[in-house]
Chains A and B, each alone.
Chain A
Amino acid sequence: GQNIDQPTEMTATEGAIVQINCTYQTSGFNGLFWYQQHAGEAPTFLSYNVLDGLEEKGRFSSFLSRSKGYSYLLLKELQMKDSASYLCAVSYNTDKLIFGTGTRLQVFP
């Protein structure tokens, strides 16, 4: 199978930094997406990584290691509005995306 693993839940404090990890099977890997999803709403695109390294986009950064089958999403200067689920999705050498179960992040004041 093509299991995507990420933690189910995480908590953090406003203003802090949080890292959400995602591991995946490397065979046939093409690229990795991160989406944010607030409860009851549509997932919104955050980032796409295809090469090794860190991609920074404002308060959010995403890292990829192709050889290790590992990615993380880094959220800095956390705000209450960052409370959401974060979905890791992998594109393999097919035309479909495989989604992880999502990590529910709760930010407390």
Chain B
Amino acid sequence: DGGITQSPKYLFRKEGQNVTLSCEQNLNHDAMYWYRQDPGQGLRLIYYSQIVNDFQKGDIAEGYSVSREKKESFPLTVTSAQKNPTAFYLCASSNSGGLGDTQYFGPGTRLTVL
């Protein structure tokens, strides 16, 4: 089955701890994305990558970091510098990341920082 997986579905962390969210895809897509979703707000782009070993900041990159060492994987680290980390995090991928390219989403990880 082709698709995008994110793990875990629910994650709890204490304030001040870094946490890494996993995102894997077997769609052979070049581009991958991380979004954050908060109640009453649209999806906001954190980071994206259009090719292995390269990534760009999105609109709200502060307090987050990513890596793209493999085509299939795009993990997101939420650092202690992120002021309001509690949110629903969505990973997506698309074929090439070009204009009009459809993005397909993983099931999401709901992070709660206590």
Contacts and interface: CB of A to CB of B under 8 A. Distances in A.
B98 interface: yes
Contact of A95 (B42, B97, B104, B108): B97
By secondary structure, the B interface counts as: loop
Contacts of A97: 45, 103
B100 A87 contact: no
- Chain A interface size, as a band, is 20 to 34
Nearest to A4: B42
A91 interface: yes
A30 B42 contact: no
B102 interface: yes
A109 interface: no
Interface of B: 31, 35, 40-45, 48, 50, 58, 88, 90, 97-100, 102-108, 110
Interface of A: 4, 8, 30-31, 33, 35, 40-45, 48, 50, 87, 89, 91, 93, 95-102
List of 6 A-B pairs having minimum Cβ-Cβ separation, nearest first: A99-B42, A42-B105, A99-B43, A31-B100, A101-B42, A30-B99
